[in-house]
Amino acid sequence: MDTEARQTADRLAAILESAVDGIVTIDAKGMIDSVNQAAIEIFGFSRDELVGRSVNQLMPSPACDEHDAYIENYLKTRKAKVIGIGREVLGCRKGGMEVPLYLAVSEGRHNGEVLFTGILRDLTDLHVAEERARAAEQLASLSLITAGIAHDIGTPMNVILGYADMLRDSLSDPKDRRRAEVISEQVRRVTDLLQTLLNIARPQKPVSVSVRVAEVLDHALEFFREKLRSRQIVVDRRYEGDPEVLGDRDRLEQMFLNLIVNAADAMPKGGRLTVSVESTSKDGIHISIEDTGYGIEPEALGRIFEPFYTSKDRGEGTGLGLVVSRSIVLDHRGTIEVESEVRKGTRFTLHFPAFERASRTA
Ligand SMILES: Nc1ncnc2c1ncn2[C@@H]1O[C@H](COP(=O)(O)OP(=O)(O)O)[C@@H](O)[C@H]1O
Ligand SMILES: [Mg+2]
């Protein structure tokens, strides 16, 4: 190669290597031919673990099992699913964690051989931002509805309360007086509930201090100790390290309380509640709250984060616990996911970005 050609080649290599998007090239057999630095970072494999190996290892199943046949079929029929089109796919990081990606594949030739070039963009941050926007919108509409309801219901409730009290004072039979009191008590329950709704739906001022996750979880568990014990629920705590997140302690505790109460509700005949905290400086903090309760039907799984969705009896469930919990998690730049199997149990997994205390590293 002459100097000029070499310079051009070096320049192109430098451009590809420094691109923000991941670039992976594969041959007609699906073997990885080259990767750039961004692709290495997206997948967490080293260059040696990628080049010369099958691209299938970067895909979750079942896509990885179908991929070889797919390339073969494409080369025969030219019917493309991604090639020349581009779309959202799931990738698989080293260790098995899935990562949402936008993938655009183009087909080219090099030395007479087919070469596919995949350009990949990590959509994780975008997805988190979208989810946060959606939750904020839901919460905004929720507070509008609640404010309306609170007003429309609150006014007649106060009238009922006033008359019930007057009635009680005018009655002489203790039984009748007691009946009037029950009316007042029940009306107060409704007005309290309205107040709670207003409190949770009202936008909160953000507080940001370093919060020790395990300590907050313990505090929340302590709060329910009696309830858990009387239900014969065994608590299994698995804390690795003592990670901190930046945020609002009270709201984080509120979120844990919601998840713990749901887990307890799912185990009326006892069971095991496993809470774990794990942190790595690279991946951040993982928290899971897992129960051995009755689980969630697949049809319901997609709805549990909707406002007012509840499977509980009237007076027992508001259908707001998870809405509020999710918005708290998102406000802490975190994510919340759920897995469940009917009659086996449910696991909520939370993930927060790592927070490194400046004084610790200094
Ligand atoms: N750990 C769990 N096990 C089984 N079902 C659950 C669990 N957590 C939440 N759910 C389901 O999600 C629904 C919504 O939960 P939530 O928003 O906290 O409202 P609520 O608890 O008032 O019903 C619950 O009614 C229940 O059907
Ligand atoms: Mg709940």
pTM (2 d.p.): 0.59
Domain stop point among 104, 122, 140: 122
Q: Are both 213 and 345 inside the same structural domain?
A: yes
- Spacing, Cα 307 to ligand 1 middle (Å): 11
Angle CA 274–279–285, to nearest 5: 80
- Spacing, Cα 262 to ligand 1 middle (Å): 5
Q: Are both 178 and 272 inside the same structural domain?
A: no
pLDDT in tens, the chain (362 residues): 688 889 999 999 899 999 999 999 999 889 999 999 999 999 999 999 999 999 999 999 888 888 888 888 888 888 877 777 788 999 999 988 899 999 999 988 888 888 999 999 999 888 888 887 777 777 777 777 777 777 788 888 889 999 999 999 999 999 999 999 999 999 988 888 777 777 666 666 677 889 999 999 999 999 888 889 989 999 999 999 899 999 999 889 989 999 999 999 999 999 999 999 998 877 799 999 999 999 999 999 999 998 889 999 876 777 888 988 898 898 888 999 999 999 999 999 999 987 766 544 43
Q: Are both 107 and 85 inside the same structural domain?
A: yes
In whole angstroms, give the CA distance from residue 222 to residue 225: 5
The environment of the single-atom ion ligand 2, i.e. residues with CB closer than 5 A, is 262, 321
Domain stop point among 122, 155, 178: 122
Pairing of strands 113-122, 98-110: antiparallel
- Spacing, Cα 346 to ligand 1 middle (Å): 10
Q: What is the DSSP letter of 105?
A: E
In whole angstroms, give the CA distance from residue 263 to residue 257: 10
What's the total number of domains in the chain?
A: 3
Q: Which domain holds residue 143?
A: 127-201
Domain stop point among 74, 103, 122: 122
The CATH number given to whatever domain includes residue 162 is: 1.10.287
| Number of the ligand 1 atom closest to the C-alpha atom of 322 | 17
Angle CA 338–344–345, to nearest 5: 35
Q: Are both 98 and 131 inside the same structural domain?
A: no
Q: Which residues line ligand 1 (CB under 6 A)?
A: 258, 262-263, 266, 291, 293, 295-296, 304, 309-312, 317-323, 346
- Mutation choice for ligand 1 from 322, 327, 336, 346, CB with most ligand atoms inside 8 A: 322
